[in-house]
Each structure stands twice: as C-alpha cells, then as structure tokens.
Amino acid sequence: MVYVIVGNGPAGTNAIEQIRNIDQTGKIILIAQEANLPYSRITTPEYMINELEEQDIYIRSEGFYENYRIETRLGHRVEQVLEKEKVVVLENGERIPYDKMLLATGSRPFIPRWIDMEVQGVFSLWNKADSEAIKEFLPQVKKAVIIGGGLVGLQAARALNAHGINVSVVEMANRLMPVQLDQTAGDMLLKALVNHGVQVLLGTEVKALQVKDNKLEGVQTADRFLEAELVIVAVGVKPNLDFLTESSLQIEKGIVVNESMQSSVPTIYAAGDIAQAMSILTGESMLRALWLTAVQQGKVAGASMAGSREAYLGSHAMNSIQLFGLPIISMGRIEGGPGVEEVILSQPSSGVYQKLLLEDGCLTGLLFVGEVQEAGIMYHKLGQRLNQGYWGSLRVTDSEYMLA
C-alpha cells in the first residue's frame, strides 16, 4: 500500500502517525511545500520577535520523518491530481503514484488585489518564512499598521507592541475579532489594546498604501494617513485548492468529505482547512480552519486510510487565546437570536465576562473573557441540555448592569 500525504501541518502529521500505528509496512510519501519539520503556525508571532527560538516552534522532534519511515518530497508542491490514474504531478514534473492519498494543504492569507506584496515593508504573517522575513526587517521599523483586527492580526499587534513598536490596528467591522467575540467582549479587548498603547481604528477601511521608490511610507484611510514602515495584511485566509481546478472531486467551499474524511473519490481523503465536514451543533457541512479540528480530522483520515473504521463526529467553532493580558475563550454560537437564550454569568464591570447561549435548553455556545477556567468543563456540555441542577437555575442578569 502506498499512502501519499500532501501537507505537513497538524492534519497531515497526525494522519501519518495514525497510518503508521496501524500499517507498519505500507509506504508513506509526504509532499510539502515547506522544507522543514512540522511546526505550529500559532507561534509565528512569537518567533517573529524572538520570544521563541526556532526549535521551540516545532511540534515533532528532529527524527520524526526517519522514525516513521517517511519518504519525503519537502519544498515541493502538487500541480495536478490525476484521479483515474491515481497519480499526483509535482511542479518539477515528477509523477508519484498512490493507492490512497490525503490532501491536507491548509490555507493561505487572502490578499486584496490592490495590495502589492512586493513593496518593501508589506508582509503577511502566516508561516515560518513570513516570520523570518519580518524578523529581518524589524530593525528599521518604528511604526507598524496591522490591516485586520482578527485573531492573526491581533497576535501580530501584540508581538510588535511587546517589541517596542508603535502599532495601529485598522478593522472594517465595529469590533475586534468579530467572528469570535460579541460587542461586549470586543469592547473589553479594545480597552486592553488601548491600555497597552495600541491605536485601534474600528469601522475603518484602508484605501491605499503610500509608496515611494517601492518602499512603504504608510497607509491611507478615508480620513487619515498612518505613517508606517511596516504593514501586515491579516484580513482572512482561503483554502489551498488551486491545484484542483481540473479535478472531479466534489468541491464547494472546500473538499466535501464524509465521516471517514473520504472525498467523493474513494481513494482521496481530505483534512484540515480544506476539508468541508460536519458541524456538531448545526449538522451543516462547513470549513473550520482551526488547529484542533485539523488534528482530529487528520487522525480520523489516517486511521480510515489504513483500514480502521473511524468516524469524525464533527467540529465546534472554538478559539482560546490570551491577548494583551486578557484570556479569551469562545465556543460555538457567540451571539443570540430568535429562540436563543443568553445567560450572563459575570459582568464586564468586574473585569470578567461570561456568557452561555442556550437553544431549547441545550448549550450551543459560550464566551468567557477574563476568567476562563470553567470553559474546559463547558466544552464537553456543548449540545447537551442544561435545564437541571445548578445550570438550570441560572438566569440572564439585568441588562442595566451591562452598561456599568
């Protein structure tokens, strides 16, 4: 049996381990664009400013590829998948046959068309190479602008602020991290940024970069100019699916997979940011670009490829982060709506905000800011009824306290 794994992120890495645990003799071939050991993208901001050394970002030891008897094609990318022939074609023309294949190519930053990434001082922050390029550039930086107030952008802002750089964050939405936080939690995070000296412009769009001799001078919004030597673009990501334009795979927002992480082509599996799998709470098929989701999907995919009867039970939206001294955890739904009850456990006036969201008595979401210790317990209650005992006695706190 020949297994081809495309991508050495959390999905691909965990799939390899599962395959080898079940199949000791099968041939595993790994194809990955990045020519290094598997590492955590979550650590790239800390690596960028030397809070972490290179060895600290790796998630597997130096002998990983040898210990699991993996034949590698590092620093290469797949150009084409020939499903009928069961062959992948690399950018250098090499053709690699397979019996079963896992696609785990992850995501890449979305870059608006008007942004020229060749301008000196303009970067994205997504992978190890981005971190190293920014690290090399930092000695000439006094002011930086982060375009995007989501998770990646704020991690970059936190790191640069800690490095002594004057940071401005520009976000189009009316709050920070709009996908993960409601307005109350967003306001608490905004306060934390401002207290650390970060300028935040909400409801604001960058209209243009100001460039002279291919060197960044700053960014222009509708009503002001922000001087900067460095811009980091963090406005979202998109799945790496371009090499599948001629594929017969069922692709919607991502590669549609079943509970075994198997695609519409039985010999091809998908996991991680490119896999469109089931959401536990809604039952809908969707993309979920989260580390834990990639790990879980990779394990199921690897086991399934090696012949074990494994099933992926679905994912929750979940984010856990500490930014500017403020711990935050959000899971599932974060805002109310028709048929949704919001149970407020703690108020922002105390420096702590905790909210549960219930539908028909079932926990469908939570948002904890400031104190997050109980979130781990609640994770295992997502989708379950909370209408008995202690949880059944909770009620929404009077809304006037929300303004304190």
Q: 229 and 126 in one domain?
A: yes
272 versus 283: the higher-pLDDT residue is 272
Q: What is the mean pLDDT of residues 153-161?
A: 98
As a whole number, mean pLDDT of residues 103-130 equals 97
> What average pLDDT does range 370-398 have in this prediction?
68
Domain ranges, residue 260: 2-108+238-305
Average pLDDT over every residue of 324-352: 90
Q: Which CATH number do you get for residue 213?
A: 3.50.50.60
pLDDT of residue 123: 98
Average pLDDT over residues 317-343: 92
The answer to whether residues 219 and 255 belong to one domain is no
What percent of the chain has a predicted confidence (pLDDT) above 90?
A: 82
| One domain, residues 127 and 229 | yes
Residue 67, CA distances (Å) to 12, 61, 196, 303, 319 in order: 16, 10, 45, 18, 32
Domain count, the chain: 3
Q: What is the pLDDT of residue 284?
A: 84
Whether pLDDT at 297 is above 90 = yes
What does 10-72 look like in DSSP terms, one character per residue?
A: HHHHHHHHHHHHH-SSSEEEEEESS-S--B-GGGHHHHHTTSS-HHHHBSS-TTHHHHTTEEE
Same domain, 103 and 131: no
Taking the model in full, what pTM does it have?
0.91
In a domain, 115, yes or no: no
Choose the weakest-confidence range: 133-142, 193-202, 357-366: 357-366
Question: What would the two tokens of residue 252 be?
Answer: 């919607």
Q: Does the structure show a pLDDT above 70 at 185? A: yes
Residues 344, 205 within the same domain: no
**List of E strands, 234-375:** 237-239, 255-256, 268-270, 275-278, 285-286, 318-323, 326-332, 340-346, 353-359, 362-369
- Mean pLDDT across the chain: 93
The answer, yes or no, to whether residue 79 has pLDDT greater than 90, is: yes
Average pLDDT over residues 236-244: 96
Last residue of a domain, one of 185, 220, 235: 235
Residues 6+ apart with CB under 8 A from 218: 145, 209, 210, 225, 226, 227, 228
Question: Where a domain ends, among 186, 214, 235?
Answer: 235
63 and 208 housed in the same domain? no
Confidence grade of residue 81 (pLDDT, cut at 50, 70, 90): very high
Contact status, residue 215 vs residue 140, Cβ threshold 8 Å: no
Q: Which two tokens stand for residue 124?
A: 């994205």
My answer on whether 178 and 151 are in the same domain is yes
pLDDT digits (tens, 9 = 90+) for 364-376: 999 999 998 887 7
Residue 242 lies in a domain: yes
Which position has the higher pLDDT, 278 or 176?
176
pLDDT tens digit sequence for 47-73: 999 999 999 999 999 999 999 999 999
Task: State the pLDDT at residue 401.
Answer: 32
What integer pLDDT is reported at residue 388 of this predicted model? Answer: 52
Q: What is the pLDDT of residue 298?
A: 98
Mean pLDDT across 82-96: 97
Per-residue pLDDT at 382? 84
In a domain, 259, yes or no: yes
